[in-house]
Structure 1
C-alpha cells in the first residue's frame, strides 16, 4: 500500500465518520423545538460614556504627564543596564 492510497483511505474514513455525525445531528428528533416562551438569559447594562479632558486628569493625579508611552528597544536595554527594570520571571523567545 502506498502513502497516497493510505491517505486517501484515511481521508475517506474521516469524511464518512464526520458526515455520519452531521446527518445524525440533523435528523435526530430528541431536541425540543425553540419556542417563543423559552427561558433565555440576557444581561444589559446602561452605561453612559464620560469624556474626560486631559486637564481634569492632570489635576486629579497632580502631574502634567498623562501617559508615558512605550520605550524604544535601545532605551529598554539602557534601562536594563541601569537596573531600572525589575525582572519577575525569565523571558522566553
Structure 2
C-alpha cells in the first residue's frame, strides 16, 4: 500500500464518518422540529443606559495610580507577577 492509497482511504473514512454524523444529527432534529427549541439559551439583562460626561472620564493624575505610576523596581515587578497583577509571557524564576 502506498502513501497515496493510504491517505485516500483515510480521507474516505473520515468523510464517510462525518457525513454519517451530519445526516444522523439532521434526521434526529428534523423529527422534533416543532418550533420549540429545548436547547436554546437566552440571557436577558435589564440594563439602563447611564449618561457620562467627558469631564468625569479624564483623570487628573491624582485619582489614578495606574496611569501615572512612573514605573516599579525589579523587586516590585516580581511581587506583581506573583500576585498576577501583570501579565508575563516567559517563565520568571522568583
What TM bracket, shorter-length normalisation? 0.5 to 0.7
CA distance in 1, matches of 2:4, 2:69: 53
Matches within 5 A, 1:9-88: 9-28=9-28, 29-35=30-36, 41-52=42-53, 53-54=55-56, 63=62, 65=64, 67-68=66-67, 79-80=73-74, 83-85=75-77, 86=79, 87-88=81-82
Unaligned runs of 5+ in 2: none
Corresponding residue pairs, total: 80
Q: Which runs of 5+ in 1 are unaligned?
A: none
Match of 2:3 in 1: 3
The whole-number CA distance in structure 2 between the counterparts of 1:63 and 1:70 is 10
For 2:57 and 2:15, the matched residues in 1 are separated by: 63
TM-score normalised by the chain length of structure 1: 0.54
